[in-house]
Amino acid sequence: MLKLTTQWILAALLMPIFSMSVHAVSWDMTMTSACHGSDKGVAHDSDGIWCGQGWTDIAFMDDTMSYQARMTGWSDTDGQWWDPEIEQAAFHYYGGHNGWGLVNKDEVEHSPEHAFDNIMGNIPGAQPGDNESHVDFDYVLISFAEHMILDSVIAGYTGSDSDISILSYQGSSNAEDTLLGSAWDELLNKGWVVTGNYNGADQAPTEQDSVFSVDTEHASQYWLVGAYHSIWGDSSSELDVYDDSFKLIGFEASLAPLPSYAVSEPSGVGCFLLASFALLRVQRKNTRR
């Protein structure tokens, strides 16, 4: 005869199921601390910030010293016929509330070319009005050790316009490998997804900074942030290209939600077992009579 215990039935009734916890941990990455050290050297200040002039690879700790983000700069300055291919560019730090800019190999270190920009650089033979063929688009690749949700991007210096584009990587390859030697319009076929294009004029100022709030629930280890490019789509007639520039001063990110346990409603199997248990008890009572 089948023997059912109370403990066994309760276990069936209280089967847990997975649910998603929405307790995302948000943290700030502020990039305004003073820097020192030689070009491309390894130096950091008391806040744990690695920085310098002419660097192609920098890393920052968040304000609680809990998480690190690695950053590399990229621009389309390689290849023939007006260099459409993406390669690395150099970070430069301009202090205070100016923030970090990017100088690619077609540019010089004066305004506006030392910002993240889509303004025509110093290309031999380029003429005014040749922006579409000659312009370089500057981007930063933000790399995390785990999947994060990018909540906002904070710009220090902004030019006369400062529209930006943001993409997240949802592919399975090395994100840097998808950039090197590619053209910008090839990235969407290599695992990159457009998160959004943002109008610089619409961003909420915080003291001297401009905060670009990112509207997304997608998490990624890799994010691209840079001067607006029309190939990523234009959700607003107010967005325009070839006149955008900004310097990066920080950003906010959240850990992707993790699964947690929650107790389910009694399952169909559990209800059946409970009914069977009750029936057995009735049968036992009738037998004893």
Residue from 23, 12, 31, 21 nearest 247 by CA: 31
pLDDT band at residue 6 using 50, 70 and 90 as cut-offs: very low
- pLDDT score recorded for residue 277: 55
Residues 6+ apart with CB under 8 A from 219: 147, 148, 149, 168, 256
Pairing relationship of beta strands 16-20 and 204-206 according to DSSP bridges: unpaired
Q: In whole numbers, what is the pLDDT of the chain averaged over residues?
A: 73
Distance CA 137, CA 120 (A): 9
Residues 6+ apart with CB under 8 A from 199: 163, 236, 238, 239
- pLDDT score recorded for residue 38: 35
- pLDDT score recorded for residue 195: 96
Summarised one tens digit per residue, pLDDT across range 236-247 is: 667 888 889 999
Summarised one tens digit per residue, pLDDT across range 45-70 is: 334 344 445 667 777 777 676 778 88
- pLDDT score recorded for residue 50: 43
pLDDT band at residue 36 using 50, 70 and 90 as cut-offs: very low
Summarised one tens digit per residue, pLDDT across range 128-185 is: 555 555 688 999 999 999 999 999 999 998 988 899 999 999 999 999 999 999 999 9
Summarised one tens digit per residue, pLDDT across range 71-89 is: 899 999 886 656 789 999 8
Dihedral in degrees, nearest 10, Cα atoms 117, 120, 123, 125: 170
- pLDDT score recorded for residue 47: 40
| 53 beta partners | none
User: For 104, phi and psi rounded to 5 degrees?
Assistant: -95, 175
Distance CA 181, CA 274 (A): 65
Summarised one tens digit per residue, pLDDT across range 162-175 is: 999 999 999 999 99
- Higher pLDDT, residue 273 or 191: 191
| pTM of the entire predicted model | 0.72
> Which H or E run contains 269?
helix 268-288
User: For 184, phi and psi rounded to 5 degrees?
Assistant: -55, -40
> Which H or E run contains 133?
helix 131-134
pLDDT band at residue 219 using 50, 70 and 90 as cut-offs: very high
User: For 8, phi and psi rounded to 5 degrees?
Assistant: -70, -40
Residue that the structure tokens 């621009």 belong to: 75
